[in-house]
Amino acid sequence: MQSDRPNSAGEQPIDATNAQPGQEYESSPPGAGQQPGQPGDALPGQDLSHELPQMLVDAQAKASENYDLYVRALAEMENVRRRAQEDVSKAHKYAIEGFAESLLPVRDSLEMALKADTPTIESIREGVEATLKLLGSVFEKNKLLEIDPTGQRFDPNRHQAISMVPVGATNPPVMANHVVSVLQKGYLINDRVLRPALVTVAQG
């Protein structure tokens, strides 16, 4: 049921059909129920067009800064890659530099032996022994170890059999499948076979 009381200008009629005794009604102001001041929302009548040029300038400056950082990072990665390639190239090129340098004293010793005016058998022998000892120290320094498997069990990974001899013909006696004699020593470098030892093996 609606009230017959005349409304003032701009007022909406009040529906009192479901009104409860003593209940009062308040009219809601315009815009009630809206959240005030949402971020990025312009207030009614507010004009942001004057801020757009500055916002564009700021965005361009940030984009330029990020591009500069990207170019710098790309250049640094290229420098790292180039230095790595140079290091690998030098490692391959000068891999034996240390070994070659350690061999120079051996050559010096041989040249000095040849300069002797009246060498004797004894002096030559002493010179050869000294040079061989010097060469042995060079091998040891560079982890170049000899393989001398006399009397050891035949190992096809480190030994190369040249011939087989019957067990009964070995002197001193050698067990079957063991090395009887070494015709040429083998060598290891850093636990890798550089040259297998040439051997004769007792036939089983």
| Contact criterion met (CB below 8 Å) for 194 and 187 | yes
Give one word for 172, left, alpha or beta, with left for phi > 0 and alpha for psi -120 to 50: beta
Q: Which of the four pLDDT bands, split at 50, 70 and 90, describes residue 98? A: confident
In the predicted model, what is the mean pLDDT of the chain? 81
The residue-averaged pLDDT of 186-190 equals 93
The model's pLDDT over 41-63, given as tens digits with 9 standing for 90+, comes to 555 556 667 788 888 888 999 99
Structural domains of the chain in order of their starting residue, each with its CATH number: 145-204 (2.30.22.10)
Strands 144-147 and 192-195: unpaired
Residue 60 class from Cβ within 10 Å (0-12 exposed, 13-18 middle, 19+ buried)?
A: exposed
| Confidence label for 38 from pLDDT (cuts 50, 70 and 90) | very low
> Is the pTM for the entire model greater than 0.85?
no
